[in-house]
Amino acid sequence: MMQHQFQRHWYLGFLGLIGFWTFPSVLEAFQNGRPWWDFLNILWLLWFLYFLPEAAPSEAD
């Protein structure tokens, strides 16, 4: 079975919470014709990838 561990800088995943705060402006970029630059706020959600565990380094025999 494969072992997993948190990424080294897992705490950076909390920056993804900014994506929830800016998400209404992303929706308005689609609905109300706001500038498309507002759509780029969805990139804040990519910070949540730091919460995904990674494979632990294998121990050499």
- Give the per-residue pLDDT at 60: 57
In a domain, 59, yes or no: no
Q: How many domains does the chain have?
A: 1
- Locate 47 and state its tokens: 């910070």
In tens, the pLDDT along 5-19 reads 878 888 888 888 888
- Give the per-residue pLDDT at 31: 85
The amino acid occupying position 31 is Q
57 has pLDDT over 80:
no
In a domain, 30, yes or no: yes
In tens, the pLDDT along 17-53 reads 888 888 888 888 888 877 878 788 888 888 888 888 8
In a domain, 55, yes or no: no
Domain that holds residue 21: 4-42
Cα torsion 38, 43, 47, 48 to 10°: value is 100
The amino acid occupying position 40 is L
